[in-house]
Structure formats: structure tokens, C-alpha cells
């Protein structure tokens, strides 16, 4: 006799039984995550809630992405597979992972929304605390100024002392500016070191795949290395910054060319078209990535009419996406949400890397964030 699957259709779309099913599924998800140790809980949540669900739909990710993007180690991945929260599937592109069933999407999305709201509440609380501290500091400084002014009017003979105090304040202000500049410089250095470490990790991983004749996997790693170089240049707002990392990714490009030639250009073309399509499905944040995949596919010389059609479609979506990111960035900037504004401006800069207004806004956000 066929096994009965407990789905929403068994309980009905609405009503107490459907609510009971949601409660059971949600409880299973929360209990499973709570059973993980320490940092594994947050890593698992981000992987499942942000990586395997996009716009309310479950999506699959290719094996390797869970480690590179979400830092999911093999032991944690096995636990999640054993829990039946996720499942593995073999496709023509290789092994991939996805949410095990559509009934999990709603409860997981609800859990993610609660977590996001809580994180947002905590962020706003921190910003409010900083604002209050600054207000009290400003009031204190103003009161000190009033007292000094009164003393100067009553005790004129202390003018020299007041002047010395003013000079000391000027020195302090100069030191404060220097500290802010040092903080910004340290921030940029950390970005550079992080990008270099990721680049070297992808190169090493790609070489290991090459040694095993796994050319498609190697190609993916070398592409990620090149993407790291380009993303670093976008983050720092300087197109010449790519030269800092291995002369604009020289080694990665050479290895990528070797992997493509060895693995077969036609298979590479089909893979690029498929990857471009997946990026298009992910929405505006990934249109630039889709365009890059189609452009790479076009350079291979296969089926130009197909790839030109894909490029025309994505190019038609990029301009309105740019306008939307800039508008969102301006809205968050005016509301003092500098991190969210920075995220949107960076997305806009990926679409139009030479836009001077977006570059200026990014620098403004970085300075304000470093001062906080």
C-alpha cells in the first residue's frame, strides 16, 4: 500500500487542521535548528532561510556554494541532510541542495522574518543609543563652553588660559579627524586582505579540481576568484584597485583559460547560459552577474543569436534596476540607515561602475559608518 504523505492537501488549505500542520512543521524546523550547537544555529539559519528560499520560493544551489558563501562545513551539512530539512539532488550541473518540501517554505520564511525584525530592532536600538550619547556629549560641550565664556567675562586676566584651552580643543579636533581617517584606512585594508584571502582560496580549490580532471568545478572556482577581484574594485570605488590582487587576477584568468580549453568550450557555453538564467531568476541584485555570464558565453562563439537575445533582455532590465537601487539608497541615507543605503548604492555601482554620484554616496556612507 502506498505511503500517505502528510501535506497541506491532506489537512485542507485553511482551518484548524491546516494551522496545526503549520505549527507542527514550524516546531520541527525550530526544534531541529535549536538542536545544533553554538554558531552552527546561525550558520544553518542563514543558509536555509537566505540561500535556499528566494522571494518566497525554494531554490537550489550547486554543491560548493554552501561552503564558499555560507561557511557550511561538511559535518553541519550532513546534520541538515539527516534532519530532512534539506535534500540533495543530482542534476546535469552536478549535485545541488534545496529545501526538502514546499510545506517547509512558509514556516521557515516566517522564522526568517522574525529573526530579521529582531536584528533590525537591535540595530535601531544601537543607533538610538549612539545618537543619545552624541546628544549628551554635545550638551556637555555646550555647557562647558557657556561656563568658560562666563569665566572669561568675569576674570579677564584668564584670557591666556582660555586661549590655551581653545588651542587644545583644536588639537583634539585634529586628532579626532586623524582617528577617523585611520579608521577608514584600516577598514579599506581589511577589505583588501579579505579579498586577497578569498582569491587565494578559490585559486587553490580550482587547482585541486583541475588535478582531478573536474574542469567544470575548476572553472567555477577560477570565476569566483575573478569575481572577487572585480567586487573588491567596486567596494572601494576605484577601478584601478583590481591591480592590487595578483595584477587584476592574472593567475586566475590564465587558469580559467586553461580549464575552459581543456574542459571544452561548448560545455562551458551551455553552463554559462544556464548560470545566467539562474541569476536572472534571482532578481535585480543579480542582473549584472547574469549579463557577465552571457557576455562570457558570447565570447565563446557558440549560438550568437541565442546569447544576443539573452543580453538584450538583461540589458533592458539593468537601467530600471539601477534607478531603483539609487532611489532606495537615497531613502535609507536620508533616514540615517547608512548600512542599508551603502548596500543599495553598491548594487547600483555594480550596474554603472563609473557613476560619480553613487561613488560619492558610497564614500559618505563609509565615513559615517566608521565614525559610529
Give pLDDT tens digits along the chain (372 positions).
344 344 555 444 555 545 555 677 778 999 999 999 989 989 999 999 999 999 889 998 999 999 999 999 999 999 999 999 999 999 888 899 999 988 899 889 988 888 889 888 999 989 988 888 888 776 776 665 654 356 444 555 665 776 767 788 888 888 888 887 887 778 777 878 888 889 899 999 999 998 886 778 888 998 998 888 878 877 776 667 767 787 778 888 888 888 777 667 777 888 999 999 999 999 999 999 999 999 999 998 878 899 999 999 999 999 999 999 999 999 999 999 999 999 999 999 999 999 999 999 999 999 999 876
Q: Which pLDDT belongs to residue 6?
A: 45
- Give yes or no for a contact between 232 and 202, defined as CB atoms under 8 angstroms apart: no
Structural domain boundaries, residue 216: 170-263
- Name the grid cell of 328: 532606495
Q: Please tell me the total number of residues recorded for the chain in this structure.
A: 372
Q: Measure the CA–CA gap between 302 and 290, rounded to whole angstroms.
A: 17
Same domain, 252 and 274: no
Q: Collect contacts of 119-124 with beta carbons under 8 A, ≥24 apart.
A: 123/339
Residue 153 domain-assigned (yes or no):
yes
Q: Measure the CA–CA gap between 183 and 179, rounded to whole angstroms.
A: 6
Q: Which pLDDT belongs to residue 137?
A: 75
- Give yes or no for a contact between 362 and 347, defined as CB atoms under 8 angstroms apart: no
Residue 24, SS3 per DSSP: helix
Measured in degrees and rounded to the nearest 5, phi and psi for residue 37 equal -95, 140
Q: Which pLDDT belongs to residue 2?
A: 42
- Give yes or no for a contact between 352 and 322, defined as CB atoms under 8 angstroms apart: yes
Q: Which pLDDT belongs to residue 221?
A: 92
Query: DSSP class of residue 46?
Result: I
Residue 309 domain-assigned (yes or no):
yes
Q: Provide the β-strand partners of residue 97.
A: 61, 88
Same domain, 297 and 326: yes
Q: Which pLDDT belongs to residue 156?
A: 58
Alpha-carbon torsion, ordered 168, 171, 173, 178, to 10 deg: -160
- How many domains does one find in the chain? 4
Residue 112 domain-assigned (yes or no):
no
DSSP 98-136: EES-GGGHHHHHHHHHHHHHHHHHHHHHHHHHHHHHHHH
Same domain, 306 and 343: yes
Q: Which pLDDT belongs to residue 1?
A: 39
Residue 2 domain-assigned (yes or no):
no
Same domain, 271 and 341: yes
Same domain, 149 and 192: no
Of the candidates 252, 295, 297, 255, the one whose C-alpha atom is nearest the C-alpha of residue 272 is 297
Same domain, 140 and 193: no
Amino acid at each position: 500500500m502506498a505511503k500517505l504523505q502528510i501535506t497541506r492537501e491532506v489537512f485542507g488549505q485553511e482551518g484548524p487542521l491546516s494551522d496545526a500542520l503549520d505549527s507542527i512543521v514550524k516546531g520541527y524546523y525550530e526544534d531541529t535548528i535549536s538542536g545544533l550547537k553554538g554558531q552552527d544555529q546561525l550558520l544553518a539559519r542563514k543558509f536555509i532561510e537566505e540561500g535556499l528560499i528566494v522571494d518566497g520560493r525554494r531554490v537550489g544551489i550547486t554543491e560548493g556554494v554552501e561552503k564558499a558563501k555560507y561557511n557550511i562545513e561538511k559535518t553541519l551539512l550532513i546534520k541538515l541532510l539527516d534532519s530532512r530539512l534539506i535534500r540533495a539532488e543530482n542534476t546535469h550541473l552536478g549535485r545541488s541542495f534545496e529545501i526538502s518540501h514546499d510545506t517547509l517554505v512558509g514556516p521557515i520564511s516566517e522564522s526568517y522574518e522574525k529573526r530579521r525584525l529582531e536584528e533590525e530592532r537591535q540595530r535601531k536600538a544601537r543607533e538610538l543609543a549612539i545618537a543619545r550619547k552624541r546628544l549628551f556629549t554635545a550638551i556637555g560641550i555646550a555647557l562647558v563652553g557657556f561656563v568658560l565664556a562666563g569665566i572669561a567675562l568675569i576674570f579677564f586676566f584668564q584670557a591666556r588660559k582660555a586661549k590655551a584651552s581653545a588651542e587644545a580643543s583644536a588639537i583634539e579636533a585634529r586628532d579626532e579627524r586623524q582617528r577617523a581617517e585611520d579608521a577608514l584606512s584600516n577598514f579599506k585594508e581589511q577589505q583588501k586582505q579579505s579579498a586577497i584571502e578569498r582569491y587565494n582560496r578559490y585559486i587553490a580549490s580550482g587547482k585541486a579540481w583541475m588535478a582531478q580532471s573536474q574542469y567544470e568545478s575548476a572553472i567555477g572556482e577560477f570565476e569566483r576568484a575573478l569575481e572577487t577581484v572585480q567586487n573588491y574594485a567596486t567596494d572601494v570605488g576605484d577601478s584601478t584597485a583590481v591591480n592590487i590582487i595578483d595584477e587584476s587576477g592574472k593567475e586566475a584568468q590564465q587558469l580559467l583559460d586553461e580549464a575552459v580549453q581543456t574542459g571544452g568550450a561548448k560545455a562551458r557555453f551551455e553552463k554559462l547560459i544556464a548560470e545566467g538564467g539562474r541569476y536572472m531568476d534571482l532578481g535585480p541584485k543579480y542582473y549584472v552577474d547574469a549579463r557577465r555570464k552571457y557576455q562570457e558565453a558570447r565570447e565563446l562563439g557558440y549560438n550568437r543569436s541565442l546569447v544576443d537575445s539573452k543580453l538584450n533582455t538583461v540589458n533592458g532590465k539593468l537601467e530600471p534596476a539601477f534607478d531603483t537601487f539609487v532611489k532606495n539608497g537615497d531613502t535609507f541615507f536620508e533616514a540615517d540607515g547608512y548600512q542599508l543605503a551603502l548596500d543599495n548604492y553598491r548594487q547600483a555601482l555594480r550596474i554603472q561602475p563609473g557613476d560619480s554620484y553613487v561613488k560619492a554616496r558610497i564614500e559618505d556612507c563609509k565615513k559615517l559608518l566608521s565614525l559610529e
